[in-house]
Structure 1
């Protein structure tokens, strides 16, 4: 990364082009997919390195990793919420103010990150003990977690940086910054773990190094913007407004967590084979969610910019086009995974019992892809419109009336994976009905640089 890498020319005016041609959507979606996939791929490398230390360090990494993952899972408003606010200002031709939103999101990331760091250090031991069920695993995971938590503020700075850059439709730099940190850390991890001899703690140090590099690059980008007249001073009023949007997104995220944790708990109480099959299919679902989420990120940026430019008809046309792309993309994924149904599960397991259980979830997974493609695309449209309050309510109601009742009825009546994945299907259908109704109502298309 050269010192001259200050990004593309920065126009002060932004005029969204008419509609959302596929090429334009993919230009934003592909780099976003790279950013979304970078962290899971790095964690695979980390797991492979630590796995050779033995079962105990691997178990400790699993426990510590779950705790740290909640930071990014529950605080996604620093990326998605920032994109929504920034895109509107960018579309209104107020790029400097759009970047200033990124500055305030970065300050917010620092403050929230420091709180997470302090609270995490205090609660690391009891949380690890609760999750691990073994004193030996808990002790190892706490050692890893206490180091890795120093990366929490840096993780949040990176999320904020992704948010404002996506909002100004600069999707390539975030990918480069995240890959730079993760690539260097992936090389450093095995060196610290083995030749240096730090073992599991070496993995945590490498993790923090990755976050230092990525966050440092995003901070450097803001320092460059200061030379263009963007103030770097904290503004509490703006941060409070960002937290308001963040509250809705955090509640929405908690609904997802409650559903999927409950599903895993019920699968575990069904049988060993059922929980193994559920894990295989759920990991594929999670991976495809990342793929579809990249389309939603593109929708956020484009629709937010159109609404900021007061181009309501254009935003509605974009919503229709992006919905069609999501539906077609989901249908393609469904056909693909139907075709490999007899082959792909065997890549993950050779256990006959698990393989026998997988079809009970697999065909729900396949059939839901078109619905997921449509729902994710329209989620992106509504997030771009900063309609987070509606998405919060729709997700909570869909979880409370669809997913959670079916999961616990499945446990009570012994429906197994059929019941669990029926719950997911009902959850997705309810969400689809909600977002389609919202899009058709037109209430989401509030014009102007700031919603409401």
Structure 2
């Protein structure tokens, strides 16, 4: 598939020139621009909602003390890195597979309905066909007399029918299993993992870090399951439903944080409990909406495409492990420098994640549109979509860099009252701001590669760096 795309797109110009294709229309709200916006904007908001909630967690915990802030920072970094090993391959593969299957089924439905209409036209005179909806009594008569001339209207066969998408069922099963495994690993190995991250047995950060990590790990099954469902909705090009669910969950987290932390005096444990409750709420909302659209029970186990998931998921696992190693190593080195430096690192990392993930909304849009275009063999649209999301990614990165460079100068005190931590955050601001264009393009390139099902290139390129 990717090879056909490459050969089609490069007949007249080298691949690098795809980036400049119709660049004057990069910000134009034409049909393609509107489709990208309708997918990317809700996806961006949904993706950044959780990091923003973590930022608010960070702000509340920062009011307790710098030791607690640093301890939670290590726990969040550890939880996120372990989660990403499972989340990224699962969500990315699910989005592409669901988009492809849904596009193929859509083409098949249109062809079948077209054949049915032609067959109905051949069996009855056009003068006898009804041009307005029939009453219930008329429809009942037609069901008892299907061959009468007055019943030649073709009823939509797929109206109100739930779709069966094998990849959706597979993603749900895999997400549930991975979530349980993650919870068991993090709870059982909390102390050794924190020791590996640089928090020794004599460190004042160990106790609050262990409490937070253990409690938050109870939400791992909900996190994996909800993100698997988000991948399904993205494949349907529906990013609004995950947005509503995520916002509802994160608002719950924000409301419960001060209650559990300060009113009930649970400290970091209260922050973890609030976060777990919000994650299960998100999973319940998404599951409720998904079962209304998709038949999640497969006719047989053989219909589940576990082999395809595992093959492509393994390639993405290599990529994620390369990224995870870099971020985990950075957090570990910061933790070894003491609570003050780790606290500053935690704030900079959460800001970087929250803003960088805005670009992932464009990546989701590019991936869904490209996967659908490839399934329909519309390579011209695939080329135009790839060019447009890359151009928008660069623009977004430049805007984010400028905003962060100014905002963080004045906003660092929102996260902590410790003057030393604020000073160190100021040192990290130029790096966080200047890397935004590169981050944005990197995220969008991932979406393009995943939309083209080129997981091998994404894995090898990241691992080699």
By the TM > 0.5 criterion, same fold? yes
CA-CA distance at 1:20 after TM superposition: 6.4
Alignment correspondent of 1:189:
257
In structure 2, do the counterparts of structure 1 residues 188 and 390 end up closer, same or farther at CA, with 3 Å as the change threshold?
Answer: same
The answer on whether the counterparts of 2:70 and 2:342 sit within 8 Å (CA) in structure 1 is no
Alignment correspondent of 2:83:
72
The answer on whether the counterparts of 2:397 and 2:438 sit within 8 Å (CA) in structure 1 is yes
Unpaired segments of 5 or more residues in structure 1?
A: 1-18, 400-452
Alignment correspondent of 2:176:
110
Q: Does 1:348 align with 2:359?
A: no
Give 3-state SS (helix, strand or coil) of 1:93's partner: helix
Residues matched between the structures, number: 372
CA-CA distance at 1:169 after TM superposition: 0.8
In structure 2, do the counterparts of structure 1 residues 230 and 118 end up closer, same or farther at CA, with 3 Å as the change threshold?
Answer: closer
Q: Does 1:173 align with 2:184?
A: no
Alignment correspondent of 1:204:
272
Give 3-state SS (helix, strand or coil) of 2:254's partner: helix
Question: Structure 1 stretch 146-155 or stretch 252-261: which is displaced more?
Answer: 252-261
Higher relative contact order (CA 8 A, sep 6+): 2
Aligned-partner Cα distance in 1 for 2:287–2:377: 31
CA-CA distance at 1:157 after TM superposition: 0.6
Alignment correspondent of 1:395:
462
State the Cα deviation string for residues 61-86 of structure 1 (Å, max 9, x = none).
22322222123322212211110111
State the Cα deviation string for residues 323-379 of structure 1 (Å, max 9, x = none).
232234344445x35xx85775454387798599669747xx53x555544443232
CA-CA distance at 1:214 after TM superposition: 0.6
In structure 2, do the counterparts of structure 1 residues 233 and 183 end up closer, same or farther at CA, with 3 Å as the change threshold?
Answer: farther
Matches within 5 A, 1:6-405: 21-75=32-86, 76-94=88-106, 99-131=165-197, 132-135=199-202, 136-225=204-293, 229-231=295-297, 235=301, 237-262=304-329, 285-333=352-400, 336=402, 341=405, 344-345=408-409, 347-348=411-412, 361=431, 366=434, 369-397=436-464, 399=465
In structure 2, do the counterparts of structure 1 residues 194 and 88 end up closer, same or farther at CA, with 3 Å as the change threshold?
Answer: same
The answer on whether the counterparts of 1:109 and 1:153 sit within 8 Å (CA) in structure 2 is yes
CA-CA distance at 1:209 after TM superposition: 0.7
In structure 2, do the counterparts of structure 1 residues 163 and 201 end up closer, same or farther at CA, with 3 Å as the change threshold?
Answer: same
The answer on whether the counterparts of 2:386 and 2:448 sit within 8 Å (CA) in structure 1 is yes
Aligned-partner Cα distance in 1 for 2:250–2:39: 21
State the Cα deviation string for residues 26-74 of structure 1 (Å, max 9, x = none).
1111111111111111112222333334444434322322222123322
Aligned-partner Cα distance in 1 for 2:276–2:346: 28
The answer on whether the counterparts of 1:157 and 1:218 sit within 8 Å (CA) in structure 2 is no
CA-CA distance at 1:133 after TM superposition: 2.2
RMSD in angstroms over aligned alpha carbons?
A: 3.5
Give the structure with higher Rg (CA): 2
Give 3-state SS (helix, strand or coil) of 1:174's partner: helix
CA-CA distance at 1:211 after TM superposition: 1.1
Aligned-partner Cα distance in 1 for 2:335–2:268: 28
Aligned-partner Cα distance in 1 for 2:49–2:331: 25
Unpaired segments of 5 or more residues in structure 2?
A: 1-29, 110-161, 414-418
State the Cα deviation string for residues 72-119 of structure 1 (Å, max 9, x = none).
322212211110111111222359667442222111111111111222
Aligned-partner Cα distance in 2 for 1:120–1:180: 26
CA-CA distance at 1:299 after TM superposition: 0.4
Aligned-partner Cα distance in 1 for 2:333–2:218: 34
The answer on whether the counterparts of 2:409 and 2:426 sit within 8 Å (CA) in structure 1 is no
Normalised by the length of structure 2, the TM-score is: 0.70
The answer on whether the counterparts of 1:274 and 1:357 sit within 8 Å (CA) in structure 2 is no
